[in-house]
Each structure stands twice: as C-alpha cells, then as structure tokens.
Structure 1
Amino acid sequence: METKEGIKFDIERERHKLHKIKQRYRDFNHPKVLRQSIVLDELINQYNRVLRENKPIA
C-alpha cells in the first residue's frame, strides 16, 4: 500500500498530465482526456480510502 504522500505526488503528476492532454486535444470528450481523467479519479479515490482507514473512530 502506498503512503498518503506518495499518492499525493502521483495525483499531482497525473493532474499535470491531464492538463497537458486537455490542452493538446482541446476537448474534454476526447478518449485520451477521458482515460487520463479516469486515472486521476482512481488515484483520488485511493487517497480518500487511505484517509478513511487512518481516521480515528469517534
């Protein structure tokens, strides 16, 4: 399992890739933009799962 910091780094890297791909294709519905968006979404979901698992139970 990755650390929170590692996942945050991956999120920023993939967010940057998404921005570059969107600039290149100028269309949010382009298949490459959508694929990269899914990659980013999965990382964000992974990060949120890690946060939930480490959260103390009140």
Structure 2
Amino acid sequence: MMGSGETLQQRLEKNRQRLYDLQAKYGLEHIYVLRQSMVLDELINQYNRIYYAKLKKPIA
C-alpha cells in the first residue's frame, strides 16, 4: 500500500502540500483541487483510524 518505505505522516504532508499548490494554481473550486482534497481526507481518515485504534487497546 505504501511504497518505498514512505510513512503515513509523510504521505499526509506530501498530499497536504500538493493540495495547497493546486489551490494556489487553480482556485478552490477546480476539479483538481476537489480531487486532491478527497485524497487528503482519506489519508486523514486512515491516520485517525490507526491513532484511535491504538488508544483503545488496553495496556496489558
């Protein structure tokens, strides 16, 4: 799923920067910006699922 040892945090940051760059180039309502926003949302959701799953694990 994650290529070349790239962490989820690295993917989040890379995709966040891409969103900023696309927004600066095309504006908020362009399809490229909307698609990239959806990609970033999914990565944030993945991060939250992992983070909150770790919080719920009982300490042995």
| TM band (smaller chain) | 0.7 to 0.9
* Matched length: 55
Q: Residue type matched to 2:47 in 1?
A: Y
Q: Residue type matched to 1:48 in 2?
A: N
Offset, 1:15: 0.4
Q: Which runs of 5+ in 1 are unaligned?
A: none
State TM-score, norm by structure 2: 0.79
Is 2:9 aligned against 1:8? yes
Residue aligning to 2:42: 42
Structure 1 moving runs of 4+ over 6 Å: none
State TM-score, norm by structure 1: 0.82
Q: What is the CA RMSD across the aligned residues, in angstroms?
A: 2.0
- CA deviation profile, 1:6-52 (whole Å, cap 9, x unmatched): 11110000001011111111x21110000000000000000000001
Higher CA-based Rg: 2
Residue aligning to 2:33: 33
